[in-house]
Structure 1
């Protein structure tokens, strides 16, 4: 029975027609989508052409992974059989590998299956091959972990990606640009460090940036000029020095004076065991990790009006303070002389 007879015969709503068993034949098929034609059986091979949806080709041989070699009006090569369906007509003859072509006729219409490296009757079905996606449309950049657009891939339209995930961070080896897309690759996060701009696809990035990019920008039009990194202004010290703080006394960290006037901290001895450093007059404390955080570290701390037990402050601990005049300050517990705390402090302007 010919394929055309099978298509028109009644009572064969779910029949499978095998074009070849022990030997394979060339057969006509057509593409169901815009389909890449590659120079080898898999997505790691280079694209040599693209089939248009509905384009008719001749399938001559198939690999065990479901990729088939086709001939058409254009460069011949390999395509994923997952995106082929039967064309009108039957086998056209010709040599191929030991593969069989199966046409399934169901309620949704005909579909093409290729069986390679095994028997055509009753065996386990060939796994569906990995789809070969159509080329992205629009202004898109695609990034690959291997040279010549191989390995893991991700594609993205115009955007700033200040960090990359674990698969692609320090692991981009080639870039393919589509449409008017351009790309800026940078060694460090947030588009910092050494950066390189590319306006055309790169099959093999230069060693200065290959497998070193941690952030990127995809754009169109003019190449963006990076803004200069501002030079941080060092903090200005307002007051600094030692403070000998006796039990039940207070200290002003804006000027280093001991006494109640304008006090920021109080060495509160509830009893010989319960002793605290308490904030006064609207000042606030942050014990944090007790390390020397300086102006920048203390500025970002979470301040609180909660007293700090001296048992949480072993000798060598640093405490950040926001004074009642709004300045950032830090003191260190240098030790004790009897019950007197020996502190060293710095308050910044």
Structure 2
């Protein structure tokens, strides 16, 4: 590697370590500040406050632990309480707080495909089947479309154990939602 490239890489790393809040992250799961967020240096109330994000602001969720998430948004990057972060399509609250009359109980199946338009390898499940970590089945982050057959629906989430952005899928999709396409890590079929 050329000396200039090494220096540029070192400078980039230093800027991201010294001042991580200079720009919002490109990667991460889409989320919302359900309440005003206090950002901290680490995952806990004992850490120093480094910034704030206003209620209803769009954020990127970089990772979560049991009760804390590392987020990035207008106001900086830092750790905040998981209970203040929303992962739905809008900031109105948790995705599953309102239980519309979703199809459930079968008969039927939800089949996820590695290609768009129901092409490629498939992974099918029926009502009551739960897959909290698709990596254990060798299919993490690999699905691009879903076919719903019968009286079923599926909860599909970007992260293991139904964390991060989730969507309730009630009808077939030739191409998965932009936040789930090749970013699906947990599934529950109803």
Instruction: Give TM-score, length-normalised by structure 2.
Output: 0.41
Higher relative strand content? 1
Q: Which has the larger radius of gyration?
A: 1
User: Taking structure 1 as the reference length, what is the TM-score of the superposition?
Assistant: 0.23
